[in-house]
Amino acid sequence: MKLNELSDLVGAKKNRKRVGRGIGSGTGKTSGRGVKGQKSRSGVAIKGFEGGQMPLHRRLPKRGFNNLFSKKYNVFNLDRIQYFIDNGKIDAKQIINIDTLLEAKLIKSERDGLKILGRGKLTSKVELEVSGASEKAVKLVEKAGGKVTVLGAAKN
């Protein structure tokens, strides 16, 4: 097989529909839009409109509330930090903070900071600079001989 012998499978390429090219084409005159009315005009998008019936998004009950000012943290459990140390992605001798995790490509963006939770065990002695930490996480880090510095007051 040579490059000049390559071709698409039959039916893989379709010719585009050329609308408004005479009545013999089947899509002439009104270009397949029918006659009159809002939808036959250009630039009209009727999203969610159900012909005067109450639209579905208005019929269904509304629940909850999205707080625009809520903080979004990068959350790490201690077992994940230990896993990354064991695999050599994080150096336990360095201070572990947002910049360390970004550099190691373990998180995609800073968000509002880093929060540490206490799931799992930590065997390495580490120094953490975080925006927030649970009480259990702080106890476990200090038990392993490490230190947690909370930079910003993170609630929840």
Q: Does residue 155 belong to any structural domain of this protein?
A: no
Shared-domain flag, residues 32 and 99: no
Number of domains in the chain: 2
Shared-domain flag, residues 94 and 117: yes
Shared-domain flag, residues 33 and 90: no
pLDDT at site 105: 94
Would you say the C-alpha torsion 22, 28, 30, 35 has a positive or negative sign?
positive
The total number of residues written for the chain in this structure: 156
CA 104, distance to chain mean position in Å, is 20
Q: Does residue 93 belong to any structural domain of this protein?
A: yes
Quote the CA–CA distance of 138 and 147 in Å, as a whole number. 8
Tens of pLDDT along the chain (156 residues) come to 899 999 999 999 999 999 999 999 999 999 999 999 888 998 887 888 888 899 999 999 999 999 999 999 999 999 999 999 999 999 999 999 999 999 999 999 999 999 999 999 999 999 999 999 999 999 999 999 999 999 865 455
Shared-domain flag, residues 109 and 80: yes
Q: Which domain holds residue 54?
A: 12-64
User: CATH number, domain at 146?
Assistant: 3.100.10.10
Helix%, strand%, coil% for the chain, nearest 5: 25, 15, 60
pLDDT at site 152: 66
Q: Does residue 4 belong to any structural domain of this protein?
A: no
Measured in degrees and rounded to the nearest 5, phi and psi for residue 76 equal -125, 135
Q: Which helix (H) or strand (E) holds 118?
A: none
